[in-house]
Structure 1
């Protein structure tokens, strides 16, 4: 095993390690220096080293990522891996590093190391470590452990060729208020430990004392009318300071005062909000309840550059701005204006490089000088200066205890100045063979002669252990048997109740008992924004993801969910895994068993058939009906004959979405079949086709073609239109055109009637309803009286029955409240035909006043309806406008009553 130090060995800055272990080469970090003429690691060493199979990033600070574009340019095929929070933070931090580097190159008139385009290409190339925390490159296995330094920071245990290497990255064990401390890989006993030593020569003062001192001093400055500037690292330190000051205000330990946040602090704080599962419990709770833990409304205000002057003209306040070493950015702008005021203060809370203005300011406070240069201008320092120990690095004692817990064969000290590394080196026990690393040097380590392997059968898997293994995993659950499934991330275990503490994608904390959990979907390390988006997409409509699952690949036997995923899924994305879990939950109980808290699924020919058939009652197999109809309308927007669609049979086994066309015969059987298939794939819904015809449009189209207004007789059962005029010269062309556009045949006055063959048009609602058995015809008045008796016998409401004649055919027309209600009584109208001996039809126009009266009676008074409902006969829709939206369940009940009485659906709009 060989470790080459390209940068960050005998210094803090430009961290970059080349590791050769087993037969694999890896590069870890590629940062830039904050000061000096040489910004970059010694990349020239790479000429004599193996090409890395991957680049691993410990965390997003500039001294660890600032030179990655050069590495990507050298090795474009080597993937760059980071944790999801680090990848998001890199988008901000690397662009900021580029600005600093660009400015310095302009000042020194030197050539910029890489271009903005190369930087953007690098950011696009970043890939994410898997949620499971392990990944393999060549013959090297890499395991991630939380480093505690900042959000997303990790250390790497690399195993290859029977050797182990532990790379600490930057470590913090107490980690302050924002994130948990480092996860110590106890007893790993690596052959070599590469350990940071930033504070190897000191012990941190008591954190609570330092926090109190900072809060009290800020309050003192503001109380006398001054401004307190806290230059802070935008990533990590600024979030800590914001939490400290607000906590002291919340507890009444200091007075309330405004806090202004400037620079990169605001966008980085937004990224922290996206990963509550990486934060400490109280911070995550504040995010859940307030939407933010850092920028509290009414107290903390994010400032844009154009607003800075107004801040300093306003009330005394605390200003938290980057950068933390006063090298550049917003903090320098404020420092230049505040440094000369005795009532003001600049409080330093983080590490200061030897050459930084921040370090010089601290030296000045010790009496070495009373002048400080900022942006090339020398300022007389009159403000108060203070330093506070809020470090995000382990101190000497913590680092020693870390070494003693890990128990390496060799320890290579990096990432510290000479004093810090030398002091730590003196304290480390000799058995851990510590080495003071130097930039540009390579170090070779060999497996110790004892071959120190750690052998352990491991603890037995008990109930508590099984629950703890779910921490960090996504849990599919439902609170009650008849409720839909939901998803949550397990963040802990409640020991006393043996329940899981979980967080939903929307940030709500819940507690689940083991019997409420249906399946463990897998680990999750990405943002909650992504979790909410991906899971919401599947729950809304799982069908597209389910169709990609190859259930035939499942081998027979009793299989766990993990085994099913590995066998059947083309990809192990959250969407695919969640879709697969929903399908498996829909299997009949005889195919599911629970063994020591793990669900197993019986796979045989029958269960494979059920899984593949899409016939199971799978949650999300159909899209929400409203969204489905929107999608159908969008798909049919260019279909010239499409009018509307509506849902029928909701809550029954015959649920469907019915499509309405002005002239249904223009949509042939083949087109209907294709359209049904496309709708099924796009929405999960079965499509039905209404055969109702827009006779008003048909009449208008005929009049337009003839160039004159006519009053035709329309026979829906025979699809024939009888015209009371002689056939014009171009009558044949007109008839052919009408036939093609509507499916109706024209019959002019001087033409013989076309044969009627209603049997050829099965499924089309007939114009007339006739009894199959001939019966004597009643006289007209008797027939009308019989219609009234018939309606009373059947409990049917009709408004009129009248006698009419068409082409010598006498028939009765019955008036219902709407044609939609009439179509519910086709069998009843056949009975009326038998009782009267007459063909029966119904009036095609709705009784609009009656519909409005009926709806107004059914709508509750407390809805505050002030105007009559609006009618849309073409869509069988009734719309009401209200000052407020009533409860959904009440709207549903009222809508059902209105539709039952009128055949019209209810739509509620809020004014």
Structure 2
């Protein structure tokens, strides 16, 4: 048994291990060194000296494990490449992106070409987790979930000569997007283990996540901008999900979070492979729910959007690759942010010694005035705050020891770690376990004589169906009945279920496409269910569960959404929203008042079809209306545009004369359903009176305004409701007093009293038509607290209809609601609606 370490030993980078087992040369990983000062390639000459490569096995898709895969595959095109489906999708994204970066660098000759990547991808054969696959006679390969990132695998090779376990990069603890490593009690003779953090015990993950949330809150409170450089694969998805959950649980305020760089492509690959993700994320994707983006978390679409982000005065967060600031948009953001006093750069992962990210962290040791950073060949003074949060996806010292103790191979090799860490950890390990411990360096080879290979456990699947028909939705129930009868709730991979069906025909009929088709079929039917922590494993459901599932069921969220799009596509809606708890479809239009009445028939039809309630959001998109107004008046100088929802009217004040507005107003009303009034410079001073004008009809002299205010206060001193604001306004007829009440409905109750005030003071009056939104909402909250009603979220207010909408956690009886509604309407003049 010979093992050659071609890279990634006594170092981090260019992981590449050649194993000769039973006369076959099997290469495990083929990575690259990303440091500009080191040779990027593994020691491929050793491969040539040892007779080439018969097969290649890949642990996961990080570049330090796959970066030279197109090169070695081109050299040995007959060597089949083994990895799982998730890793294959990620490899495609990572390698094409790496090639693009190499092509864009001046004076750098790319290590491979497009065609090399394409040919390499065609040589890949995918094997899912926990499927034992014979890659050569008597040599079997199995992948086990390694944690670390989506698709990461521990590699287990079993031959006549010995059994080899290679951990790749692994992590025992669960993350937000993936489960931790799941490694059974294997019996390897040789174990190769990563030791990246063999000198550390990680801090508590939840504490580090809380630290990140605290830093974000601090940034928001300072109205600052934040950059979180993150590895596109793994770390970025974790950061997105941490912040998304924090916003949903109100640990941080709603803030715009922008996602940029290769992260967007990786997110797409995650969504294509839900079975490799954590249960809660994978099940969401299977139900058609977007796992990463929402109204606050948005992908950057273009260069213009990227350049505008930090120009905004509002606080925002950018999550961008690369994680070490060695390339990608994160370099651009760091350059713009570093010199800002209210800027934050938060490092969340491993930083190479020469990476700009490492140099940034080293600035923490310097005084503020001496802090500079070279990025994109520019020297930038660093005034921003620099923070580090430990979100490592590698095993720490305790976890590495735990996995070694579980497997206990006689021969242990420690790789993938800095030299001093490997040396220190090996000495510590040597004192604790009685095994042969090796600390190889890149370029070294070892001949290991395994005299008595350990006996291997064998997974027995004795009962098979020997069926040579293709599995379809019509006959999959036969597979379910057979598995349920013979294996009860035992967990199987898709491949194992296929073997149970085909039996002796398995090798003849099995293919990648058929495996993929069966996986989709199993997910879509009610006969099998995923394991709660390993979505790639399935068990046969109970007869009761199947019968329940086969009953007519309600439409899924994505099905309702697709139906709504189909029903209303002719109405030019802006967005369709679904409120799941209420089974409600909300149609959003820029101009709801202009929607054709024919939509009512469509709404009725869809409600009948889906049993979901359909409503139109009555809010006008003011931004869209203003854009339309400016298009109509594109060559005209506009002073101000105002919207009065109660009057259903936009008013435009101009800085010049204008005489041809009727046609524009008519066209605007036709498009939007809203009135438009245009005031040119000649009547610009005629401020719009938002309320009924009450004119003084007496001959009383107009008294001084402060005295008038005192009289108003005295008159309302003993009234139940009083104006909360008194203002002096001016129109073409002179000055007048506007009285603002909590709502115009309350104000109109005092119309006669206001007429008397006009007689007493000599002033003209207006009862304001605006409502005091904050006070109305606060009153609603106080009323609910007093009546012991628990709200799901703060009330919302519709100014045009004077409606306040409450979302409550539990139902209340009709009598209590009627009492609350009446009290609220009496005190605010607004209508209360409970949903």
What is the SS of the residue equivalent to 1:431?
coil
Structure 1 position 523 matched with structure 2 position 524: no
Q: Can you list the C-alpha shifts for 1:97-120, whole angstroms capped at 9, x where unaligned?
A: 22333445x3xx354322232223
> Counterpart in 1 of 2:438?
435
CA distance in structure 1 between the aligned counterparts of 2:516 and 2:439, rounded to whole angstroms = 49
Equivalent runs, 1:551-700 vs 2, <5 Å:
561-563=501-503, 565-566=505-506, 569=509, 573-574=513-514
Q: Can you list the C-alpha shifts for 1:299-340, whole angstroms capped at 9, x where unaligned?
A: 434443331112122221010000000001010000000000
> Counterpart in 1 of 2:34?
34
CA distance in structure 2 between the aligned counterparts of 1:127 and 1:477, rounded to whole angstroms = 24
- Shift of the 190–177 alpha-carbon distance from structure 1 to 2, 3 Å rule, reads same
> Counterpart in 2 of 1:169?
168
CA distance in structure 2 between the aligned counterparts of 1:43 and 1:317, rounded to whole angstroms = 46
- Shift of the 518–43 alpha-carbon distance from structure 1 to 2, 3 Å rule, reads same
Q: Please point out which of 231, 237, 242 is paired with 2:240.
A: 242
Whether the aligned pair in 2 keeps the contact of 1:476 and 1:520 (CA below 8 Å) is no
Equivalent runs, 1:676-825 vs 2, <5 Å:
none
- Structure with the greater alpha carbon radius of gyration: 1
CA distance in structure 2 between the aligned counterparts of 1:339 and 1:361, rounded to whole angstroms = 10
CA distance in structure 2 between the aligned counterparts of 1:96 and 1:163, rounded to whole angstroms = 38
What is the SS of the residue equivalent to 1:277?
helix
What is the SS of the residue equivalent to 1:230?
strand
CA distance in structure 1 between the aligned counterparts of 2:510 and 2:124, rounded to whole angstroms = 23
> Counterpart in 2 of 1:89?
90
What root-mean-square deviation, in Å, do the aligned CA atoms of Structure 1 and Structure 2 show?
4.2
> Counterpart in 1 of 2:21?
21
- Shift of the 8–489 alpha-carbon distance from structure 1 to 2, 3 Å rule, reads farther
**Alpha-carbon distance, 1:407 to partner:** 0.2
Unmatched runs of 5 consecutive residues or more in structure 2: 465-469, 526-538, 543-596, 612-835
CA distance in structure 2 between the aligned counterparts of 1:597 and 1:182, rounded to whole angstroms = 24
Q: Can you list the C-alpha shifts for 1:522-564, whole angstroms capped at 9, x where unaligned?
A: 73489xxxx9xxx9xxxxxxxxxxxxxxxxxxxxxxx963326
> Counterpart in 2 of 1:10?
10
What is the SS of the residue equivalent to 2:39?
coil
CA distance in structure 2 between the aligned counterparts of 1:488 and 1:262, rounded to whole angstroms = 47
What is the SS of the residue equivalent to 1:328?
coil
> Counterpart in 1 of 2:449?
446
Structure with larger RCO (C-alpha < 8 A, sep 6+) = 2
- Shift of the 25–321 alpha-carbon distance from structure 1 to 2, 3 Å rule, reads same
- Shift of the 331–865 alpha-carbon distance from structure 1 to 2, 3 Å rule, reads closer
Q: Can you list the C-alpha shifts for 1:617-667, whole angstroms capped at 9, x where unaligned?
A: xxxxxxxxxxxxxxxxxxxxxxxxxxxxxxxxxxxxxxxxxxxxxxxxxxx
CA distance in structure 2 between the aligned counterparts of 1:121 and 1:268, rounded to whole angstroms = 21
Q: Can you list the C-alpha shifts for 1:351-388, whole angstroms capped at 9, x where unaligned?
A: 11111111111111122751111111111111000111
Name the TM-score, length of structure 1 as normaliser: 0.53
Structure 1 position 190 matched with structure 2 position 196: no
CA distance in structure 2 between the aligned counterparts of 1:488 and 1:173, rounded to whole angstroms = 38
Whether the aligned pair in 2 keeps the contact of 1:5 and 1:438 (CA below 8 Å) is yes
**Alpha-carbon distance, 1:41 to partner:** 0.8
**Alpha-carbon distance, 1:132 to partner:** 5.8
Q: Can you list the C-alpha shifts for 1:18-45, whole angstroms capped at 9, x where unaligned?
A: 1101121111111111112411111111
Name the TM-score, length of structure 2 as normaliser: 0.57
CA distance in structure 2 between the aligned counterparts of 1:231 and 1:337, rounded to whole angstroms = 13
Whether the aligned pair in 1 keeps the contact of 2:130 and 2:144 (CA below 8 Å) is no
Q: Can you list the C-alpha shifts for 1:857-881, whole angstroms capped at 9, x where unaligned?
A: xxxxxxx999xxxxxxxxxxxxx99
> Counterpart in 1 of 2:179?
180
> Counterpart in 2 of 1:872?
none
CA distance in structure 2 between the aligned counterparts of 1:121 and 1:460, rounded to whole angstroms = 36
Structure 1 position 308 matched with structure 2 position 306: yes
What is the SS of the residue equivalent to 1:90?
helix
Q: Can you list the C-alpha shifts for 1:76-125, whole angstroms capped at 9, x where unaligned?
A: 11111211000001111011222333445x3xx35432223222322333
Structure 1 position 253 matched with structure 2 position 251: yes
Q: Please point out which of 260, 263, 275 is paired with 1:262.
A: 260
Whether the aligned pair in 2 keeps the contact of 1:201 and 1:419 (CA below 8 Å) is no
What is the SS of the residue equivalent to 1:336?
helix
**Alpha-carbon distance, 1:426 to partner:** 2.1
CA distance in structure 2 between the aligned counterparts of 1:403 and 1:576, rounded to whole angstroms = 34
Whether the aligned pair in 1 keeps the contact of 2:102 and 2:109 (CA below 8 Å) is no
Q: Can you list the C-alpha shifts for 1:255-292, whole angstroms capped at 9, x where unaligned?
A: 11110000011111111112222211222244345622
> Counterpart in 1 of 2:340?
341
CA distance in structure 2 between the aligned counterparts of 1:882 and 1:178, rounded to whole angstroms = 38
> Counterpart in 2 of 1:421?
422
CA distance in structure 2 between the aligned counterparts of 1:191 and 1:521, rounded to whole angstroms = 27
> Counterpart in 2 of 1:481?
none
> Counterpart in 1 of 2:145?
146
How many residues matched?
528
CA distance in structure 2 between the aligned counterparts of 1:287 and 1:488, rounded to whole angstroms = 28
> Counterpart in 1 of 2:68?
67
Whether the aligned pair in 1 keeps the contact of 2:219 and 2:226 (CA below 8 Å) is yes
> Which has the higher mean CA deviation after the structures are superposed, 225-234 or 132-141?
132-141
CA distance in structure 2 between the aligned counterparts of 1:437 and 1:420, rounded to whole angstroms = 13
